[in-house]
A and B are shown apart, each in its own frame.
Chain A
Amino acid sequence: MTNPAPAITLDTLDITDTRLYVEHGYPWGAWDLLRKEAPVYWYQRPGFEPFWAITKHEDIGFISRSPDLFSNTQMLRLADTESLRIGQRARVRNANRYGGSPDDPPDFIFMDPPEHREHRSAVSRHFTPRTMRSLEAHFEELAENYVSRFADSIVERAQKDQSSGVVDVVHELAAKLPVAAICEMAGIPEEDWDQIFHWTETLIGAGDPEFRRPGESQEQAMRRSNGEWRQYNESLVEQRRQTGLGKDILSTLMQAEIGGQKLTPKEISAYFTLLVAAGNETTRNSTTGGVKALLDHPEQLEHLTDNPEHVPAAVEEILRWTSVVIQFQRTAMEDVELRGRTIRKGESVVLWYPSANRDEDVFEDPYRFDIERDPNDHFAFGGFGEHFCLGAHLARWEMRAILHALLPLLPQLELASQPELVSGSLHVGGIKRMMVRLATGTHEQ
């Protein structure tokens, strides 16, 4: 993740072509240019509805704090027009099958206050620091186990191949704790965790042919995966109806009352899907990106191994550095002036979080990876305000646990190849595979 300096101009820059993301990584140079020359930029490109590209930390902060001016209820994630059509058809099918209207909010992120607050608070007690403290020892134990299995598999692989033991960080390490944590909190039995992981991978990665079955289109893969997941989800609900409710998140959702009304089965399912999916992908990618960042900056890694008390600050810097969530979208509810431009009522604004996380007005020397950066007011969990990530505490606790457990092993590892990126998503910057091996000189031949 360096700052390349190709000759780009406002007229030619492209921040929406997902193929470019896969080939070159995030368009840091384009975002730099936008922040400098056109921080509120009317972006018009084929295949996308035009929108205002918002790239400054301050402006994303203002919009995030102003849900009365900028609504979540219309467009939430920028996508090409074809993906939007697929999404709209899914809404219609869901309404036909489960009742309600295609225009109902698919989940509570699509709501504005006051509805949003009521829905969010239905499960918020599962994500408080107090709940995390009660789970901390357990997370640490899980993290130790996963890291030790990861280390074993490197050694096994090395012995078997007479090589340095090439192993994938994504599937053999980074994916483990996020799945385990959210599944345990949701009361999902351990034998189903692999399946859950597979579903969330398809839900988010359906744009990438690797996550589809042979001959399947993006839409077919999503339909299949959604259908299987819904069915599984309903079986969990049914089980609780028969054998009684527990202390898990799903039980909480089944009891929740909002405005004196219980949630409908469709709402429960959507809410639960959001929690499970959001809890998996993001933390996995931040963890993988964090391993890469530390291996790319050996002096920072050495400093951290010597001073493990910096792990929490290092996690914040990893969150800023990797900026896994690329954007969310809002719709202006009235005309708003911003940096001399007029955003008209009904127009859409897209908040580019990775750009905010490299804003030179907020972060000194933003392209320097610094595990002691302080303050570090990054927007990795979204802008501050109404929709700040509900799972932020959970994600932090998980990443701290993994990093603590991994720290003794990390200096012995090196990247065996550059990470392979998930294609087709303009929402989450996913890493599909990242191979590491024992560094030269640290393994016996």
Chain B
Amino acid sequence: MKVQIDHTLCEGHAKCMDRVPEIFEVRDDDRSYVLLETIPTHLEEDVRRAAAVCPRAAISCVDDD
């Protein structure tokens, strides 16, 4: 699974970083960045949950085929 963050939507609420700090990092520009290109299988569920609770719905998960 891969993760994308739409920076035109992200407003730095940091709920993703609170949930999965291994994957998301909110930087000084108040935007969240994805730290790993491919999400490790054991974190996929947490990342999906983080995407679901993003206040701006800025995170999308793309499954590998």
Same complex = yes
Residues in B neighbouring A61, C-beta threshold 8 A? 52
Q: Identify A385's interface contact among B11, B14, B29, B57, CB under 8 A.
A: B57
Of chain A, the residue at the smallest CB distance from B54 is: A384
Whether the pair B53, A375 counts as a contact (CB closer than 8 A) is yes
Residues of the B chain whose Cβ atoms lie less than 8 Å from the Cβ of A386:
57
Instruction: State the interface size on chain A (CB cutoff 8 A).
Output: 19
For the complex, is A128 an interface residue (Cβ under 8 Å from B)?
yes
Contact of A65 among B8, B30, B57 (CB under 8 A): B57
A381 at the interface (CB under 8 A from B): yes
Q: What is the distance, in angstroms, from B20's C-beta to the closest C-beta of chain A?
A: 12
Interface string of A378-422 (1 = CB under 8 A from B): 000100111010001100000000000000000000000000000
Known pairs A130-B28, A130-B30; A384 contacts B56 (CB<8 A): yes
CB <8 Å contact, B56 and A377: no
Chain A, residues 45-70, CB within 8 Å of chain B (1/0): the string is 00000000000000001001100000
CB distance from A123 to the nearest CB of B (A): 12
Q: How many whole Å from A416's CB to the nearest CB in chain B?
A: 37
CA distance A117 to B10 in the complex (A): 12
* Contact A384-B57, Cβ < 8 Å, known A128-B30, A130-B30, A392-B13: yes
Which residues 1-21 of B sit at the A interface, judged by CB distance below 8 A? 8-9, 11-15, 19
Instruction: Give B26's nearest chain A residue, CB to CB.
Output: A129
Given contacts A117-B8, A128-B11, A128-B12, contact A377 B28 (CB under 8 A): no
> How far apart are the CA atoms of A382 and B54 in the complex, in Å?
12
Of A121, A129, A381, the residue contacting B55 (CB under 8 A) is: A381
Number of contacts between A and B (CB, 8 Å)?
Answer: 40
- Cα A37 to Cα B11 in complex, Å, equals 36
Chain B residues near A393: list those with CB within 8 A. Answer: 11-13
Closest to A374 in B: B18
Report the separation of the CA atoms of residues A130 and B19 in the bound assembly, to the nearest whole angstrom.
21
Whole-angstrom distance from the CB of A390 to the nearest CB of chain B? 8
Shortest A391–chain B CB gap in Å is 11
List residues of chain A with CB within 8 A of the CB of B52. 61, 384
A145 within 8 A of B: no
Complex-state Cα separation, A64 to B52, whole angstroms: 12
- Is A9's beta carbon under 8 Å from chain B? no
Instruction: Mark each residue of chain B from 14 to 52: 1 if its CB lies under 8 Å from any CB of chain A, else 0.
Output: 110001000000001110000000000000000000001
Enumerate A94-138 residues with CB–CB distance to B below 8 Å. 117, 121, 124, 127-130
CB distance B30 to A124 under 8 Å?
Answer: no
A70 to chain B, nearest CB (A): 13
Assembled-state Cα–Cα distance A381/B13 (Å): 12
Which of chain A's residues have a CB closer than 8 A to the CB of B12?
A: 128-130, 393
CB-defined contacts of A130 to chain B, threshold 8 Å: 12, 28-30
Chain B interface residues (CB < 8 Å from chain A): 8-9, 11-15, 19, 28-30, 52-57
Question: What are 23 A-B interface contacts by the 8 Å CB criterion?
Answer: A61-B52, A64-B57, A65-B57, A117-B8, A121-B8, A127-B11, A128-B11, A128-B12, A128-B30, A129-B12, A130-B12, A130-B28, A375-B19, A375-B53, A377-B15, A384-B55, A385-B56, A386-B57, A388-B56, A392-B13, A392-B55, A393-B11, A393-B12
